[in-house]
Structure 1
C-alpha cells in the first residue's frame, strides 16, 4: 500500500514538474534539496511520523530577507496544506482548520512544495486566485496590508539592476543589503489604485467606491474568499506583481548578468524594470517627481518596445532651468517620451507620447499615447478613440496657439503647457474627449513648479530627414494683416498652412 502511494506521488510530481521549463525545474529541485540539507533537522526528520520532508523553519531561514515574516508564514502554511493532500482543491473547512491550528512540526514534502509553486505561478487566474487567497488568508492581515506587502516585495525585485549612474555603471544587482532600499517606501498611491482597479470605469474616479472598498478591506483583519477571488481575476496589475514575487523568490532568484536575450524578454514582460539613466544620485531618488511604484504603473502602460530600452532623464527643470527653448530643444525628434509635471499646488501628472515631438500646425500622434495622474491619485487615462488629438506642439507663430498640448481641443486640452513654460491648464470639463481624463491639476489654470521628461525609446527618424530651418506661412509674414482679419471677423485664425519646424529654437528669435 505504501509502495503504491509512493509510486502515485512520484508520478504526480513528474506531471507537475513537466509544467515548468527545464531551467525552472532544476531550480525548484535544487532549492528543495538545499532546504532539506539543514543540519538542525536531521534528527527531527528521522522521527517525524508524517514522512520525509522539511520543516517550515528550515525553509524560512533560507528565504531572502526582503520577504517579511508574515508573508513567509503565509507561504509556509500553504506549503504545509499542499503537503497534506494531493488534491488540487482543498475544502474551506480544511483550510480553516489548518489555519486555526498550525503545526510547526508539520513537514513540507517535495510534492507539496512543487505543487504549491505550480498553483501560484502556472495555473489560470481563477485557480491562481484561490492559491493567492490562501496565502493572504494565512497571512493573518487585512487585504490592504497583504497588498502592501506584495507590492513592497515585488517592486524591490522589479527595480533590481535598473539604475545606471553617470559613469554608465549599472547598480543594484541584488547584492546583500541593496534590496532594503525600498523597504520603507511610501506605496500608498499604488495600493489604493490596486484596491480600486477592477471597479474603475474609464475616466471615472469613484471616490465613494474607493473609500468603501478600503474600509471593508480593513474590517476584522481578514477578507472574504469569494470577493477576493473575483477582485484578483479582474486585477491584471496585482496578478502581475504577485507573479513577480513568486518568480523572483522561487524560480529566478538572481538576474542573469550576461544573457541579453533573457534580460530583454524579462523587460518586455515587465518582470524587471528598464535600465534608468538619471543624473540624480541613486535609487529611489532616480526622479524628483516619481516613486518606484509610480514608475512601475506607467511602465506597465508603455508599449512593449518601450520597456526594453534604456530610459533616460532627457530634461529636468531642476537641472536644466525653466527656459522654453531649452525644453523644446531637449524633446524635439528624440523619440517616445514621458512628460511629468508638478504644479505649485503639489499635484503631479503628465502624459506619454509615442511619436516624436515635432513643431506642427495640427494635432498628431496615435492611440498608444495616454495621460496620467500621480498625486493626489494614481490614475492612467488611455485613448478613447473619439478623436485623434493625441499631441500638439507649436512655437513662434501668431496664427496658432503656442505651447504643448495633449487631448481635447484648443483652449480645452486635457493637458496644456504655455510656451512660457510657467503657465498651463487642464480644461477637462467634465472629461477630456481624447483620453476621458478628468482635470489633472488642482486648478484648471496652474503654475508649473517642476517638469521632467523621460526618453523611453529613441527616435527611428533619419537625422538627414529632419528639416533644420523653418518656413513661415503667409500669415506669419504679415502679422498686421492677420490682426485686422481677426478684428473684422471677431475670430482667432488657426492657419492650416504647414510650417517646417525649426529644430534648434532660439529664444531670442
Structure 2
C-alpha cells in the first residue's frame, strides 16, 4: 500500500514538472474549482470530465492534449461521446467548433462574442478537409488511368460514403479511421486544444505562441464611435469569427503575431494588428478613396459581398504600388470563397500574374486584378467601380480591406494616390490587410454574365 502511494506521488510530481510555475498555479486553481466554463458545450464538458477525476488524471490529460498533442486522447473523448451521447463525428465536431471559436476569438482579438449560429460552414470545412485534400490528390492523377466520366462517378460515390460515415449516429468510425482523419485535420486538433486549455488552465500564458499555433486570434483594431455604430459593434460587417478563423489558417506567422525582434525592427509597441483600411460603408464610393487607402500599406485581404449574398475575396502578400503598371506579387497570394462552402485557391506558379493595380492610363487596363490574365482575371474590379467580374461569384456590391501586416515604410517614399471614378455599383466592401498563404482561383464559380450585374441597392 505504501509503495503504491509513493509511486502515485512520484508520478504526480513528474507530471507537475512539465509545467511552468505560472501554469502550475492555474492548473491547481482550475482543478480546485472545476466547473463548466463559459462558451462550453454541456455535452462536450461531460464527455471530458471522466478524464479529470483526480489531480493525477487531470495533469495527465492536460499534458497529453496540450504538451504531447496525442491524438489518441481525443479519440478517448470521442468514444465516450459515441457510447454515452450516441454522437456522430458531425455532432462531435459541432460541439468543439461552437465551444472553441468564441474562446479563440476572445483570447486574441479583444472582442467579446458568443453567437454560434453561423458555425455550419466551418464545421463542414473541418469535417471534409482531409477528405477533400485526399480526393484532390487522386483527381490530379486520375487522368492517367481512367476516363473523366468514371472519375466523376467514383468521386461522387466516395463523397457520399464519407458524408454517410460522419453523420451516422452513433458513429461507427473505427479508431484507425478517426486517427487517420484527425491527423490530417490540424484545425480540429487546434480547436480541441483551445477548449481544453480554457477548461483546465484558462487563457494562454504565451499569447505570441498561441497566435502562431492558431489557438488565439490575431489582435484586431478596436472600433471608434463611427465604426461601432456602422458595424453594430461587430468587428466586420461582412465576415464572422468562424469565417475569420478559416482565413487565418492560411496566413504566414508574421501576419498572426510578431516576435520581440520583429517589434523592435518595426518600432512597434504592440503585436501585429489587423486594421480596417477601407470600407465602402464607412469611406464612400470613390475609386480614389479605395486606392489611396490601399496603396503602400502592406499585405491586404479584400473581402467582397455580392448582391446575391456571395462572399469572396483575395489576399495580396505584397503591398499595392502606385506607379507599377505591370503584374507583380508572389505565390503567397490567394483567392477564397465564404458562401455555401468555404473554398481557397492556391497560386499555381503558372505565371507571375499575382496582382495588378492601374488607373489613369489610356493604353492599359485600368482597375484592380488578382490572378489569371486580363479579360479572365480571378478577380477584377474596373476603375469606374461599376464593372467587374470574379470567378468567385457575381459582381460585387460590398467591399472591405483589412491590413494584417503593415509595410515597413520609408518616411521619404512617395505615397500619393491616384484619381478615379465613382463606385456607383458597389454597396459595401472591406479590405482587410492580412498576410495570407498561397491560393489561386481556378474554379471558384462561373464567369458572371451581364444579367448578373444588378443595379445598386438604395439605402
Q: Is the 8 A contact 1:129 1:233 kept in 2?
A: no
Q: 2 CA distance for matches of 1:377 and 1:116?
A: 34
Q: Which residue of 1 aligns with 2:325?
A: 361
Match of 2:103?
157
Distance 1:125 1:411 in 2: 50
Q: Say whether the 8 Å CA contact 1:267–1:307 is kept in structure 2.
A: yes
Residue 129 (structure 1) shift: 4.4
1:440 aligns to what? 392
Alpha-carbon distance, 1:234 to partner: 0.5
Once the two structures are overlaid, the 10-residue window that deviates more, 218-227 or 292-301, is 218-227
Deviation at 1:506, TM superposition (A): 5.4
Cα distance 1:249–1:109, how it changes in 2: closer, same or farther (>3 A)? Answer: closer
In structure 1, what is the equivalent of residue 118 of structure 2? 186
Give matches, 1:289-304, under 5 Å. Answer: 289-304=238-253
| Structure 2 partner of 1:226 | 176
Alignment of 1:77 onto 2:9 = no
- Relative contact order: is structure 1 or structure 2 higher (C-alpha 8 Å, sep ≥ 6)? 2
Structure 1: which 5+ residue stretches go unaligned?
36-58, 80-107, 164-169, 173-180, 257-261, 427-438, 469-502
CA distance in 1, matches of 2:63, 2:108: 28
User: Pick from 340, 343, 347: which aligns with 2:310?
Assistant: 347
1:28-107 → structure 2 map (5 Å cutoff): 28-32=27-31, 34-35=32-33, 59=34, 62-79=35-52
| Cα distance, 1:68 vs structure 2 | 2.3
* Cα distance in structure 2, aligned partners of 1:387 and 1:349: 23
The separation in 2 between residues aligned to 1:324 and 1:207, in whole angstroms, is 44
From the superposition, tell whether residues 457 and 207 of structure 1 become closer, same or farther in structure 2 (CA, over 3 Å): farther
Runs of 4+ in 1 over 4 A off after TM superposition: 202-212, 281-284
With over 3 angstroms needed to count, the CA separation of the structure-2 counterparts of 1:266 and 1:219, relative to structure 1, is: closer
Which of 361, 367, 376 is the matching residue for 1:397?
A: 361
Q: 2:66 and 2:334 mapped to 1: Cα distance? A: 30
What residue in structure 2 maps to residue 307 of structure 1? 256
Distance 1:245 1:135 in 2: 17
Matched, 1:142 2:88: yes
Partner of 2:428: none
Q: State the alpha-carbon separation in 1 of the partners of residues 165 and 400 from structure 2.
A: 37
CA contact (8 A) 1:133 1:229 kept: no
Quote the offset at 1:376 in angstroms.
2.1
What is the CA–CA distance in structure 2 between the aligned matches of 1:461 and 1:208, rounded to whole Å?
Answer: 53
Distance 1:123 1:265 in 2: 16
Q: CA RMSD in A?
A: 2.6
* Of 335, 339, 347, the match for 2:298: 335
The question of whether the paired residues in 2 share the 8 Å contact of 1:363 and 1:388 is answered with yes
1:126 to 1:68, Cα distance in 2 relative to 1, 3 A: closer
Match among 314, 320, 336 for residue 283 of structure 2: 320
* Distance in 2 of aligned mates of 1:119 and 1:162: 24
| 1:275 maps to 2:219 | yes
Q: Taking structure 1 as reference, are residues 392 and 315 closer, same or farther at Cα in structure 2, changes over 3 Å only?
A: same
Structure number with larger C-alpha Rg: 1
d(CA) in 2 for partners of 1:211 and 1:280?
A: 44
How much has 1:212 moved relative to structure 2?
4.3
Q: When the two structures are superposed, what TM-score results if normalisation uses the length of structure 1? A: 0.69
1:264-295 deviation per Cα after TM superposition (whole angstroms, max 9, x unaligned): 33333332222322424478722121011000
Q: How many equivalent residue pairs?
A: 383
After superposition, the C-alpha distances for 1:299-347 in whole angstroms (9 at most, x for unaligned) are 1211111123111111111222222222111111111111001122221
Structure 1, 213-222 or 363-372: larger mean CA deviation: 213-222
Secondary structure, in 3 states, of the residue corresponding to 1:345? coil
SS of the residue corresponding to residue 399 of structure 1 reads coil
CA distance in 1, matches of 2:122, 2:190: 13
Q: How does 1:420-499 map to 2 (within 5 A)?
A: 420-426=384-390, 439-441=391-393, 446-466=394-414, 468=416
Other structure's SS at 1:301 match: coil
CA distance, structure 1, for counterparts of residue 279 and residue 172 of structure 2: 43
